[in-house]
Structure 1
């Protein structure tokens, strides 16, 4: 079946929610279809994740014609108690730095604090 992502077994470091949020941070006008391809998820899974992120206050969208433009609420605190006090901007800053280090050209979040940089990254 065309368009179905490759299956993955085992655990990963990032959740699908984090991957979808990072894809949106990279391009706020991205389409669900493009997020699905980038994250290797189905479009239906991405729609559910976007809905979860909106319900959780991490994301909002505005309709522009037939497209959506997303806005990440960068100050929203991560949900897990182990990340108590960490804002979503700090997570996205780390992911964006990874993309820059690997030549993918992701933008740094302007609101990310200096302590969110990776150790050894010169910052």
Structure 2
């Protein structure tokens, strides 16, 4: 039996954007949208939310944006409010190749 698209997911789109930015700080909005499966406009809104609330910084470098994450910022939901987002990012960040640190 084939697998169909999931009707729900454990991670929100906001979490997925954070994870993808952690993996590639110079990722383009177009590429984020394709990786996550949402519209470019949806990604732009999420990036604006994350920037406004202090989770994300943006710096224009030439024609591209370079994003930084405030990994010490805490989750927003009351039951996780004492937990830094660094823990989530560390779970999903791809490890450096051997010999790279």
After TM superposition, list the pairs within 5 Å mapping 1:38-53 onto structure 2: 38-53=35-50
After TM superposition, list the pairs within 5 Å mapping 1:1-123 onto structure 2: 10-96=7-93, 106-107=94-95
Q: Report the secondary structure of 2:68's partner residue.
A: strand
Q: Report the secondary structure of 1:86's partner residue.
A: coil
- What's the CA shift for 1:11? 2.0
Q: Report the secondary structure of 1:79's partner residue.
A: coil
Residue-by-residue CA offset, 1:2-61 (whole Å, 9 max, x unaligned): xxxxxx673210000000110000000110011111111110100000000001110010
Structure 1, unaligned stretches of length 5 or more?
1-7, 97-105, 109-123
User: TM-score, with normalisation over the residues of structure 2?
Assistant: 0.85
Residue-by-residue CA offset, 1:97-121 (whole Å, 9 max, x unaligned): xxxxxxxxx247xxxxxxxxxxxxx
Structure 2, unaligned stretches of length 5 or more?
97-101
Residue-by-residue CA offset, 1:57-77 (whole Å, 9 max, x unaligned): 100100011100000001001
Runs of 4+ with >4 A deviation:
none
Between the two proteins, the alignment pairs up a number of residues equal to 92
